[in-house]
Amino acid sequence: MKRVVVLTGAGISAESGLKTFRDSDGLWEGYNIEDVATPEAWARNPELVQQFYNERRKSVLEAQPNAAHYALAKLVQKYEVTIITQNIDDLHERAGSANVVHLHGVITRSQSSLKANLTYPIDGWELKMGDTCELGSQLRAHVVWFGEAVPMIEKAASICLEAGIFILVGTSLAVYPAAGLINYVPSGVTKYIIDPNIPTVSNNRIVEMPYKASIGVPMLVDELLAIS
């Protein structure tokens, strides 16, 4: 069974009503990134950071998967599929995809402030100050902040090395190290790029699909299922 590797970014979640990570003005939901998405912000004002991610979590739980999420879940009918996502929401899983690698964590889980790989499910949308892990440290959102390592990047790179088909959806390839993953895909593998603004890629065998995710992904999935 041929292996399909999909790398998704903010564009696929935007159509479910979730704001992209960094808007054109450099803000995320009206906040400076430096005030809510760095270890320094957490050390300076943990209450603000906790509130910010509680609000984002509430928005994620209220959002619903869109046609692109559901279409990708259908690919398992005829392919071995791995989705690597830069997004911190769980919309791929809720649409039915089982093999999802979250590069930047997932907001529906918490993690220990002392040990990043000590994570827990969150009951509901609110994580409170005073909620602690088994080591006694404050729980925070299971999200990779600026300045922190991306623990899943090596696993994601090894997955890309084994791709038989590669699909890039809704990402400008501006955030590293995730943006470098396309370079791990073997040169002879066809790479589909679905985005209204196709990023510049030096790889060969590129098929450009300048559509928003909810249009382009179902179109490509139908095509792949028909030819497999």
Residues marked active site are found at: 104
Q: Which two tokens stand for residue 191?
A: 């790479």
Residue type, 93: E
Chain-centroid distance of CA 222 in Å reads: 23
Contact 127, 139 (CB under 8 A): yes
Contact 194, 211 (CB under 8 A): yes
Q: Which two tokens stand for residue 221?
A: 């999935």
